[in-house]
Structure 1
Amino acid sequence: MSVIDPSKKTSKSVVYEVSSSHENSSSGEGELTAQSEEGSLDKVRDILFGTQSREIEKRFAVLENRLLQESGLLRQELTRSVEDLKRQMNQEVLGLVEKLQQEENQRATNIQEMGHEVKAVETQISKRISELTEHASNQFQAMGTEIEQQKHELIEQDQQAMSRMESQFQQAVNELKEDKTDRAALAEMLMEVAMRLKVGATKHTEPQS
């Protein structure tokens, strides 16, 4: 029968406790590292998609400013045209009245005819004003439709870009969690996503001809 040495038993117990303590310490460090990486990923997510949201708002502001400027120009053009027509009408009416006054004594029979001419001029001017107003209204409506369509296309393009960025970002997060992607490769992938997002935003903000 063999006798167990008490010192060997105590030594094994100490080794087990040290090993257990080391494993617990490694587990705690791993959890802290994972939390730090998740915090960093949240910051990267805010940087990427916060920038995208600001670019969208900026492009919307550009479209709205363009609409306001062009509508203001149309109103100014319409106002100038109406004022010109009014001045023209006043000049022609004044000319006709002066002509009537000069010929009143000699051509009494022509007074009625001159009145018809004045009415014809007024009718022509009124018709011209109506046509100009309708034309300006059609231009304004077409411009609004075009800008609304561009706005819709821009929203759709941005949504598609955001979806692609989110998918790539989520894939990177999943690969990081599974410990299958090297940290340098992940950083390169995130940088590529950010560059694509920046290039896409720059293309949208370029003035269109």
Structure 2
Amino acid sequence: MSQMTRDDVRERLGNIDQIRDIIFGTQIRDYDNRFSKLEKDISLIQQEMRAQFEQLKTNFSAELKAANEIIDKKIKTLSLTTQEEAADFRQQFDRLNRRFSSSFQTLDEELDTQTNSIREELFQTKGKLQDDIAGLRDLVLQELEERFGALAQDKVSKEDIAETLFALGMRIKGTEFIPKLREAGDDGNGYKSLPFMDSGASKALKYGNGNGNGNGHGATEIHS
């Protein structure tokens, strides 16, 4: 048996990227699907608001056209001697036209403001969740590095290492870590420290096949 370095441990354990994909792959894809759904929902909302705006604009235009026709008919039926009354009708029509034009502009500005606000909130939420995932990923990798370093104090077999990492990955992926990651993302309260493993998993990783004495003595050896 020869002393095992950290590089040897990593080489025997396999590619760390594969471990990372096993732990985080499903959760990252889930977040991507949620972001895609939010993008589609925003597009649908924008389309609906645009459709409502166009319908409102059409109704206003029809009312304006009808009012214009009525005024024109009244002007034509009025005597030429009532010039002041005709001018008053024309002023009313101009005021009505300006009011509708102002309403169109206000509705358009409100629509743009609401759409931009929704998109900004989505981008901020997406960035925050990505930061949370990155922070939690760093926490996992840091924990793995610390546990690899602890192997220098105990004798652990390859089978014990593989079994411990497999159990750790399944616990993180299925029962403990990912649900808490989802809860942290849904609450929107920022990154929180999450328990990485319980005392049983910690002991299994630290002491391996049961030969660890907990006092930091002894060289690390791999049993075939």
Structure in which a larger fraction of residues adopt helix: 1
Aligned counterpart, 2:75: 100
Taking a change above 3 Å as real, the CA distance of residues 161 and 116 of structure 1, as seen in their structure-2 partners, is: same
Q: Deviations over 1:130-168 (max 9, x none)?
A: 111122122122222222221222222222222222223
CA shift for structure 1 position 126? 0.8
Q: Which of 96, 106, 111 is the matching residue for 1:131? A: 106
Superposition pairs for residues 140-155 of structure 1, below 5 Å?
140-155=115-130
Number of equivalenced pairs: 177
Distance 1:122 1:128 in 2: 10
Partner AA of 1:126 in structure 2: S
Partner AA of 1:199 in structure 2: P
Cα RMSD, aligned residues only: 3.4
Q: Which of 77, 84, 88 is the matching residue for 2:52? A: 77
Aligned counterpart, 1:44: 19
Q: Deviations over 1:16-74 (max 9, x none)?
A: xxxxxxxxxx77xxxxxx79952386643332233343233223322322332222222
Aligned counterpart, 1:199: 179
CA shift for structure 1 position 123? 1.0
CA shift for structure 1 position 204? 7.6
Taking a change above 3 Å as real, the CA distance of residues 131 and 42 of structure 1, as seen in their structure-2 partners, is: closer
Distance 1:35 1:185 in 2: 14
Note the residue ranges of structure 1 that are not aligned, 5 or more in a row: 1-25, 28-33
Contact 2:46 2:115 in 1 (8 A): yes
Taking a change above 3 Å as real, the CA distance of residues 52 and 104 of structure 1, as seen in their structure-2 partners, is: same
Q: TM-score, normalised by structure 1?
A: 0.66
Q: Which has the larger radius of gyration?
A: 1
Q: Secondary structure at the match of 2:93?
A: helix
Contact 1:93 1:118 in 2 (8 A): yes
Q: TM-score, normalised by structure 2?
A: 0.63
